[in-house]
Amino acid sequence: MISDKHTPHQYKPDACKLRYRLARNFIDQFYTSTYDATDDPGEGQQRLGVRSNFLGQFNFKSMTREALNEMDIIVNPSYIPSGKLKGRVAIITGGDSGIGRSIAVLYAKEGADIAIVYLKNGRDAQFTRKLVSAEGKICRLYKGDISEESFCRDVVRSVVKDFGLLSILVNNAGMHVPDSSLKDISSRQFKRTFDVNMFSFYYFTHEALKFMKKGSSIINTASVVAFRGSDHLIDYSASKGAIVSFTRSLSKNLATKGIRVNAVAPGPVWTPLIFESFSKSHIAEFGKENPMKRAGLPREVAPAYVFLASEDASFISGQVIHVNGGEIVD
């Protein structure tokens, strides 16, 4: 496991715009110093700027993996933090990129220290760590396979030892492999999907509950496909359905202890997993089937996690927030 220490500073809400500009400057420097020519950073470094009509001007048809590193895609520049998570410590699995990265940055803006769990992309993880550090918060990195119970247990214990507490657990990491038929899904793949997508949630939560106190929050990442299914992601959809049931059942079990358990069910959202899993033809049509006719950005999903982790959601547990571009699901 990799661990990094940084000194936190006092939260100052009036400095949010300055921190945003500093983060943008950091991104420019990071691209130059870290990404080599083979990564084609030019695609992802379109100078989008801080503009109020960003979504109206952004060309979703030309989305690239590299563009996910743009600050405008990670965080809405108009986001104004108010110290909602000050003094808290959060574990975020899959916090190195995509939705997890946006959650990490917003949590840091709101005053939380962060522990990011990731599988293998150290460059993404370091990038996110520096974004969190730019907010003056501590960010630790833990590299490993969340399908292994011992690794999950060690991460939780290490976080509690280093930070002295654990306030928020975001079970966010997941995987999927598209297949056109159940016949194409091997038993090994089916088991692996559940090991990563469902059993890891159990492993982390089981250990975290040994340390969580009243007022703590557990947030699980489900998916719109848990409710409507997917003909090409059968095992993934099944695992996400299990997460919804896990969330609802655990919330009832922990309600009297003051620990809230909720979920967020994103619809189609641009993340690295999309570019790693699907064909170019699929990516070209990605998200166009929902009412808004586009896929979402990580920055459009992360605020739901802030809400659920904060006191604003103190009377909410066992619920699923649907951030899916307008699709109505039961």
Bigger pLDDT: 133 vs 3: 133
Cα 90 to Cα 64, 250, 299, distances in angstroms: 29, 19, 18
Question: Token pair 């399908």 is at which residue?
Answer: 147
One-letter identity of residue 220: N
Total domains in the chain come to 1
Phi-psi region of 164 (alpha: psi -120 to 50; beta: other; left: phi over 0): left
Q: Mean of the pLDDT values across residues 38-50? A: 37
Q: Where residue 102 falls among pLDDT bands split at 50, 70, 90?
A: very high
DSSP 13: G
Q: Tell whether 328 is covered by a domain.
A: no
Q: Tell whether 194 is covered by a domain.
A: yes
Q: Tell whether 8 is covered by a domain.
A: no
Q: Mean of the pLDDT values across residues 118-129? A: 94
| Residue 170 main-chain phi, psi, to 5 deg | -110, 105
CATH number of the domain bearing residue 150: 3.40.50.720
Q: What is residue 17's predicted lDDT score, i.e. its pLDDT?
A: 52
Q: Tell whether 6 is covered by a domain.
A: no
The rounded percent of the chain whose pLDDT value lies above 90 is: 73
Q: Tell whether 117 is covered by a domain.
A: yes
If you count DSSP H runs as helices and E runs as strands, how many of each does the chain have, helices first?
A: 14, 7
* Listed residue (139, 135, 189) closest to 163, CA to CA: 139
Residue 252 has pLDDT above 70, yes or no: yes
Q: What is residue 43's predicted lDDT score, i.e. its pLDDT?
A: 37
Cβ-in-10-Å burial (0-12, 13-18, 19+) of 260 comes to buried
In sequence order, the β-bridge partners of residue 1 are none
CA distance linking residue 147 with residue 113, whole number of Å: 24
Q: Where residue 57 falls among pLDDT bands split at 50, 70, 90?
A: low
Q: Where does 259-305 show beta strands of DSSP type E?
A: 260-266
Encode pLDDT of 163-204 as tens digits.
Answer: 999 999 999 999 999 999 999 999 999 999 999 999 999 999
Q: What is residue 261's predicted lDDT score, i.e. its pLDDT?
A: 99
CA distance linking residue 212 with residue 156, whole number of Å: 11
Residues 6 or more apart whose CB falls under 8 angstroms from that of 281 comprise none
CA distance linking residue 249 with residue 236, whole number of Å: 20
User: Residue 245: which domain range?
Assistant: 13-323
Q: What is residue 5's predicted lDDT score, i.e. its pLDDT?
A: 43
Residue 237 has pLDDT above 90, yes or no: yes
Q: What is residue 23's predicted lDDT score, i.e. its pLDDT?
A: 55
What are the structure tokens assigned to 174, written together? 């997941």
Residue 36 has pLDDT above 60, yes or no: no
pTM listed for this prediction: 0.84
What are the structure tokens assigned to 61, written together? 């048809």
Q: Tell whether 279 is covered by a domain.
A: yes
Residue 49 has pLDDT above 60, yes or no: no
Q: Tell whether 29 is covered by a domain.
A: yes
Q: Tell whether 4 is covered by a domain.
A: no
Question: Which residues are catalytically annotated?
Answer: 236
**Among 25-29, 104-108, 283-287, 325-329, the least confident range:** 25-29
CA distance linking residue 220 with residue 286, whole number of Å: 23
